[in-house]
């Protein structure tokens, strides 16, 4: 299915609340420019990790494989702390006034609009797969390592109970998936419990994601489908910056700057399927820069090798390093420069008068606006005469 704009609006068709997950999506309504309309989207939500604890971490090799082959959003944020309000926000465009992890959340069951209801009302399908959740006691606050606070759909009266599944029901025939589904690991496999249980670390969540979703991820690339990996919040910092990765068909690999949040992701899905817009998603900027079939995403940032440098004691130096690719603007940091020489962080120009005599193993790291880095290493010799 090609990426494009569907012009004109077609009146929404309401599907029965019991619509099964294998039903196909009808003809498109209005879809925002540059956002593909996928046959299937799967979103997996992990817990409480800072962005830099995931991206570039040796503890998360599979997640970094996805990031390298997909779109990594480098300035993505949760809305608040603790967990539950973030899940409500990503599903309904609002925290619904909830500030804690109470079960059930205050004011529920809610009648507010939400992604599940919106999809059903345009004839698409919705579902959630919740590890350790039991249909025998669907409203339970906890069950084994399951926690209802991470499953906001259970708190909305307008979301059919039949759209909630245990993780064991996740199909191996991916064509049987709902149009959009959320996957919620248990408290160990989502990295939540790692602070007091070493067996529930980042590597555990990484392995779980590979074991449960790698088959779907590779299938998605050739079947007009998408995998999204995100987190509810960071590890209780004020900036609340989290990793978010999009992998599958029509995704241009690269690292993408520009502040986004859960409301942005919800708005993207709403525009993707032509649904109503709910809560703060109505004014959020959708994710549009990562899509396309017509070439790669941002190129790799590079520093041209300046070669070996030679200067004399107290000689004026002005060396402009050539940084290209990636996403401008760039910033540069130098190491092991001769005494008296300085690197301008914003212009990437080395200047000054060297008064340290000898040969130095100079190094420079350039960082682009998306956080991608490149290194250059070269000799710099300063002679007396």
pLDDT at position 298 is 52
Task: Tell me whether residue 22 is in a domain.
Answer: no
How many other CB atoms are found less than 10 A from the CB of residue 354? Answer: 25
Say whether both 123 and 269 belong to one domain: yes
How far, in Å, CA of 346 to CA of 74, rounded? 20
Half-sphere exposure of 15 (CA within 13 A, CB side): 22
Say whether both 191 and 219 belong to one domain: yes
For residue 10, what pLDDT band results from cuts at 50, 70 and 90?
Answer: very low
Check pLDDT > 90 for residue 72. Answer: yes
**DSSP at 356:** -
Cα angle, residue 194 at apex, residues 191 and 196 outer, rounded to 5°: 150
Say whether both 66 and 207 belong to one domain: yes
Task: Tell me whether residue 297 is in a domain.
Answer: no
Helices (H), the chain: 51-54, 61-69, 83-92, 115-121, 202-221, 262-273
Give me 146's structure tokens. 């399951």
Say whether both 84 and 155 belong to one domain: yes
Domain count, the chain: 2
Mean pLDDT is lowest, of 35-49, 123-137, 290-304, 354-368, for: 290-304
Task: Tell me whether residue 8 is in a domain.
Answer: no
CATH at residue 325? 2.60.40.10
Q: Where would I find the beta strands (DSSP E) of the chain?
A: 40-46, 71-77, 126-130, 142-143, 146-147, 164-166, 180-184, 225-231, 241-248, 254-256, 260-261, 302-303, 309-312, 316-320, 323-324, 331-335, 341-343, 349-353, 358-367, 373-383
Domain of residue 342 covers 302-383
Summary mean pLDDT of the chain: 89
Check pLDDT > 70 for residue 1. Answer: no
Span 289-318, mean pLDDT?
82
Is the sign of the CA dihedral 22, 146, 155, 83 positive or negative?
negative
Give me 70's structure tokens. 């997909």
Say whether both 204 and 275 belong to one domain: yes
The pLDDT > 90 percentage for the chain reads 82
Task: Tell me whether residue 170 is in a domain.
Answer: yes
Say whether both 332 and 261 belong to one domain: no
């Amino acid at each position: 299915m090609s990426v494009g704009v569907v012009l004109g609006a077609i009146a929404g068709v309401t599907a029965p609340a019991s619509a099964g997950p294998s039903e196909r999506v009808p003809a498109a309504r209005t879809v925002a420019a540059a956002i593909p309309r996928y046959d299937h989207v799967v979103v997996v939500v992990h817990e409480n990790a800072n962005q830099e604890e995931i991206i570039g971490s040796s503890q998360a090799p599979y997640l970094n494989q996805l990031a390298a082959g997909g779109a990594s959003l480098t300035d993505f944020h949760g809305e608040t702390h603790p967990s539950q309000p973030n899940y409500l926000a990503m599903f309904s465009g609002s925290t619904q006034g909830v500030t804690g992890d109470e079960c059930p959340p205050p004011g529920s069951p809610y009648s507010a609009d939400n992604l599940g209801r919106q999809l059903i009302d345009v004839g698409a399908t919705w579902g959630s797969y919740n590890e350790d959740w039991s249909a025998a006691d669907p409203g339970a606050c906890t069950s084994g390592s399951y926690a209802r606070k991470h499953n906001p759909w259970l708190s909305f009266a307008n979301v059919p109970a039949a759209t909630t599944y245990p993780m064991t029901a996740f199909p191996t025939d991916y064509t049987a998936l709902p149009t959009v589904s959320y996957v919620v690991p248990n408290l160990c496999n989502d990295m939540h419990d790692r602070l007091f249980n070493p067996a529930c670390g980042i590597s555990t969540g990484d392995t779980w994601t590979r074991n449960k979703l790698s088959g779907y991820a590779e299938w998605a690339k050739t079947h007009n489908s998408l995998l999204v990996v995100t987190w509810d919040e960071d590890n209780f910092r004020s900036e609340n910056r989290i990793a978010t990765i999009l992998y599958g068909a029509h995704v241009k690999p690269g690292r993408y700057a520009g502040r986004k949040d859960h409301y942005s992701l919800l708005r993207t899905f709403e525009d993707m399927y032509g649904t109503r817009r709910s809560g703060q998603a109505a004014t959020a900027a959708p994710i549009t820069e990562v899509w396309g079939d017509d070439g790669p995403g941002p190129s790799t940032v590079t520093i041209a090798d300046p070669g070996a440098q030679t200067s004399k004691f107290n000689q004026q130096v002005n060396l402009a390093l050539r940084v290209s690719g990636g996403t401008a603007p760039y910033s540069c940091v130098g190491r092991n420069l001769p005494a008296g020489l300085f690197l301008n962080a914003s212009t990437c120009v080395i200047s000054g008068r060297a008064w340290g005599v000898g040969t130095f193993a100079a190094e420079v790291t350039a960082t682009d606006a998306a956080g991608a880095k490149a290194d250059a290493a070269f000799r710099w010799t300063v002679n007396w005469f």
